[in-house]
Structure 1
């Protein structure tokens, strides 16, 4: 889902002191008078702390905020019009057998699409989308309505339409940024964000009878939903609360700036925890003992909360929060990682765009949380030198966190792949590969059990294959330099990758969308087998939103959305048929205008594919 986000405000550097390894716990001592039997958040180092009580928690917010307020408010004011998380750059499964590699053991077979019909980053972790499928039932969100279809017959058949309103009886979203859903055991959990980006509504709909769905709960929370993930039957929503919107004064008169600054500081001192934490009907959603406070005052101020919801009992919720403002997060099957990047400002055209500003320290703090049932528990923290572009730049497998970073004031003018491991309560550096794309920008990253594929770009498109078999000693195996770049990489088996991105001239001037087929049989010598170049000024939808890419392994067909034009936009489905190392392309015009961003191609267990456009749900003919 694309939207425009405006963020203006003071730039706060992001840095973090090294973990000191001192053990202590959040909250009261276990067994202490009046204290809980066990601390709600267990900490084992000093990177995160906890306030003694709610008064101290509020004081910590106010103390940090006073450093940010001036005669014009928050450094000129802060407005955040955000949207649900949709896509970002990513990438990569086709023939049997392991790639040839002098070190052996490298595999590209970990990543596949989710059975809900959504192309996801991590196997076993479903992501919210505007369309979901379970058996013969297909659900889609459209203009604030949840539409249920039977897709078992000759044509999709509409079963019901359910209006999704917030707890106040009004639409959960007005215009951009829309809403998304996950589907759990016959219940849909819909998360919609208000058009001002300040509140989100979590709605649970029972579909035991899909011809007559029932809304069982609708909870409106003050906070912007930036990610929704499904682990088993637990729905996790990441909520962001930035700096409060206060009625700041502005300078006038001879001593205007001094008076305005004093008034504005007084407003900050008068804030309550309801101004800083996510709230439901004005009451904080998070207990004070569940809010961790970073020891570094330069980390962007706000609150990032992980809310866990049980769809079977929507009022049974657990929360864990950190007193920082960041939408840079990644979920594996058993970990949640939060990167404390500095706040951004300026125009941002879509969620998860690659527009990272280096922090003043040149380092990015990382916090790791263990996922166990509905619990989200802090376990370790550390930092990396460099900038992290988006969630696709992070990956965890086998106890190793792998991160692709761009340059910062603490690095050279190149990109790197780093590995970290949990050592007690610390995320410690394990291994690294440097000098990937000197003077270039990371455009896409795809991770596998023991392999990373990284694409950078300035004038040419270097594709790097990095062996991660030994996390402590990653090795650059090979690289391929070609014109253009891939914004999204998808595996077509263990020997093939397809990259969706932009064609470019030898001088680095982009010309239009392209699809490139790569052979990674020999990782020391990756090759481009074929390329399909689309018309001038076209865009590959998967570059912004990977959910606009679908791989059909049985048919050996890739389906992806390609669009052209900013006004008078036209969208096509590109049908890429693969055979003998080549791609045959067929273009099918399917949509126009802003609805192009919501086009989905959903594979069914029957082998058929559902095409979802702005107004229609139909079966898509794979053969021309």
Structure 2
């Protein structure tokens, strides 16, 4: 009997362990997180530490940059690599980081209508991650960046709009760019180009040459208490050296990113003042230098610039938390928990063949995109790793985070090439350690990405050269992204916006195809195109409805800035600003040549549509701030942009359009004008 009990004991343990392991694997599978993806500790970034080490790192960068450009390789090849002592010539660089564009609520597949108030909010990429914009509303007041001031408009009732306050921005050299708004605070973001005397310049006769100056760019956040709309008070200023890259706001936490490029001449002159500075009036009104012991760097990736990330709780007057790294930044993507900074880097130059001025063959040509991830936790910013993928990205919508994975779409190669290095489009999935865990490469050779939108387990990608293929990509298995279907139609989409989980709206341009001088097909853009796509059958996406606005030359800010869109699925409402160019009947009847004609100016303002799945786009009307006299005076083009409608919002039953000169209100139902207010 005892032996029998012993025999029956172990199988039970084995069965229990097997079931436990199976259950654990099942949970991981359901969460779409592989068992091997347990987060490993991130190796901390090294610290610059001293001015001597900083200058050493920058000299190493300068040498490597010459290597990458081929200059140093060529020189060393011809000198038969005599020695390693290379004289580094100063570089006159004044590179500007490309700004990323830039949250009260967003709808991915939901309306912009707030849960407790009937007014629109900024169209943002990620729900719960606010982006700064030139116009914000709280459902009662409208705040607008208007040249060198912030105009505060009491918008309700719509028939009695009035300016209740003007915030004069008297900071020297300051230019306001965007706003954040919550119930208690207004944040004004902008940049400054203050002139600063150079501290170290060539020895010249001061009586002949005036004291030299240079412009010191800085990024500024001004925080205001807006409890009393007629007595708005500035409570805090935060200023970071460098160009404004982007910002996000999550709840009361503001994340501000600047990119401060170093003047290589000042470094060569051995000037000590090459460290970045900032000021935070919660601590002091004076600038404070960021010490070398507080600056990190990425080993092997030195760049003469600083990325400065400042985290501020705008509801508390506590010191800003800063994260500073020696490096560059181009595009920003942020989720609730993470901030990603993407920067393109060119592959190093290939070594020269022996006794030759020609480089050796390369297996891979073209830039790569490096992504740095920083965790965002209650106003704290911590470096959490980096990854790299082939190709270059288009904008912030090329990036996305879903569960434990980061997804990114890139274009590699060149569209003008017709060999193995022609352009190709790719999608990569990176895991918790920022390693590539899945990839889909070589999409639409010879074309390039014009827009991307990630929506849960799917991605939508538009590429273009002569036609517009819309690709539907399955991301359910992060290790194996797969194309489910595609649709080819004339034109292209610059921006994709979700209608719901099975329908998507594209905004771009119509195109026509003409034969070039070498009888080669070429595509030319025409009027603005909006299209509604049905992707419920993922293998066979189809265009349900489309509209063409104007002719060649028609343009909209929406094609460059997603925040110019107003969309509400519940209200069946779609609106955006547009400048319309049209061809005369005579021009339309002219025989087509190898270059289509541009239209002439005919309208500037807002196009307002009703939209639903049964009827598609239904133009409800157009709203303009230009007077009949303005249209009479206009020639082939319109240049007085102070009356150009920049944003459209809604509050309750009324639609509001805003330009620098005017604010107008109209009923949503019939677009009947109910109020007009001069802002000058």
TM-score when normalising by structure 2: 0.70
Q: Is structure 2 residue 663 aligned with structure 1 residue 609? A: no
Q: Tell me, yes or no, if structure 1 residue 436 matches structure 2 residue 443.
A: yes
Give, in whole Å, the separation in 1 of the partners of 2:216 and 2:177. Answer: 12
CA contact (8 A) 2:451 2:493 kept: yes
Q: Secondary structure at the match of 1:547?
A: helix
Does the C-alpha gap of structure 1 residues 239 and 596 become closer, same or farther in structure 2, counting only changes over 3 Å? Answer: farther
Show the counterpart of 1:451: 458
Bigger relative contact order (CA 8 A; separation at least 6): 1
> Which of 307, 316, 326 lines up with 1:304 in the alignment?
307
2:609 is matched with: 576
5+ unaligned residues in a row in structure 2: which ranges? 1-39, 72-86, 194-214, 280-284, 347-363, 415-419, 514-521, 582-597, 627-637, 672-680
Name the structure 2 match of 1:118.
122
> How far is 1:525 from its partner?
0.9
Give yes or no for contact 1:436–1:464 (8 Å, CA) kept in 2: no
How many Å separate the matches in 2 of 1:245 and 1:292?
A: 19
Q: For residues 221 and 373 of structure 1, what CA distance do their matches in structure 2 show?
A: 21
Cα 1:65–1:216 change in 2 (3 A) is farther
Q: Take 2:277 and 2:427, find their aligned partners in 1: how far apart are those partners?
A: 35
Separation in structure 2 between the aligned mates of residue 83 and residue 418 of structure 1, nearest angstrom: 23
Q: Give how far 1:436 is off.
A: 2.1
Q: Is the 8 A contact 2:151 2:166 kept in 1?
A: yes
What is the 5 A alignment of 1:22-421?
44-45=42-43, 48-53=45-50, 55-65=52-62, 75-78=91-94, 80=96, 85-86=100-101, 109=109, 117-153=121-157, 154-166=159-171, 170-173=172-175, 178-194=176-192, 198-244=217-263, 246=265, 267-268=267-268, 270-272=270-272, 274-280=273-279, 283-284=287-288, 286-297=290-301, 300-314=303-317, 316-342=319-345, 362-408=367-413, 413-421=423-431
1:340 is paired with a residue whose SS is strand
For residues 101 and 645 of structure 2, the distance between their equivalents in structure 1, rounded to whole angstroms, comes to 10
Q: Is the 8 A contact 2:427 2:440 kept in 1?
A: yes
Unpaired segments of 5 or more residues in structure 1? 1-41, 94-107, 248-266, 344-358
Quote the offset at 1:608 in angstroms: 2.6
Residue from 476, 491, 502 that aligns with 1:484:
491
Matched residue, 1:15: none
> CA deviation digits over 1:249-291, x for unaligned, max 9?
xxxxxxxxxxxxxxxxxx525133x424243488455443442
* C-alpha displacement of 1:65: 4.4
**How many Å separate the matches in 1 of 2:88 and 2:649?**
49
Match of 2:61, SS?
A: helix
The alignment status of 1:542 with 2:589, answered yes or no, reads no
Partners of 2:641 and 2:453 in 1: how far apart?
29
Return the offset for 1:569.
9.2
The 3 A distance-change label for structure 1 pair 434 and 79 is closer
Partner of 1:618: 664
Deviates more, 1:279-288 or 1:607-616: 279-288
Structure 2 match to 1:494 = 501
Aligned partners of 1:145 and 1:163 also within 8 Å: yes
| Paired residue total | 517
Structure with greater Cα Rg: 2
Instruction: Work out whether residues 111 and 569 of structure 2, in 8 Å CA contact, stay in contact via their aligned partners in 1.
Output: no
TM-score using structure 1 length: 0.76
Q: Which residue of 1 aligns with 2:12?
A: none
Secondary structure at the counterpart of residue 57 of structure 2:
helix
Counterpart-to-counterpart distance in 2, 1:386 and 1:363? 5
Q: Does the CA-based 8 Å contact 1:164-1:171 persist in structure 2?
A: no
Moved more, 505-514 or 396-405: 505-514
1:31-54 residue CA offsets vs partner (Å, 9 max, x unmatched): xxxxxxxxxxx97338x4223445
* 1:62/1:268 contact within 8 Å kept: no
Report if the CA contact (8 A) 1:501-1:513 is conserved: yes
| Contact 2:275 2:291 (C-alpha < 8 Å) held by counterparts | no
The separation in 2 between residues aligned to 1:432 and 1:83, in whole angstroms, is 27
Cα deviation, residue 136, structure 1: 1.1
Which residue of structure 2 lines up, in the alignment, with residue 16 of structure 1? none
Report SS of the residue matched to 2:559: helix
The alignment partner of 1:521 has SS state of coil
SS state of the match for residue 392, structure 2? coil
Match of 1:509 in 2: 524
Backbone CA RMSD of aligned residues: 3.2
| Conservation of the 8 A alpha-carbon contact between 2:423 and 2:448 | no
Q: Which whole-Å CA distance do the structure 2 matches of 1:596 and 1:457 have between them?
A: 34
Query: What's the secondary structure of 2:344's corresponding residue?
Result: coil
Secondary structure of the residue that 2:641 maps to in structure 1? helix
- For the structure 1 residues 455 and 564, does the alpha-carbon distance in structure 2 shift closer, same or farther, using more than 3 Å as the test? same
Cα distance in 1, alignment partners of residues 278 and 644 from structure 2: 31
Counterpart secondary structure, 1:60: helix
Q: Kindly tell me: are residues 312 and 578 of structure 1, through their superposed partners in 2, closer, same or farther at Cα, counting changes over 3 Å?
A: closer
Indicate if the aligned counterparts of 1:68 and 1:74 stay in contact, CA closer than 8 A: no
- Structure with greater helix share of residues: 2
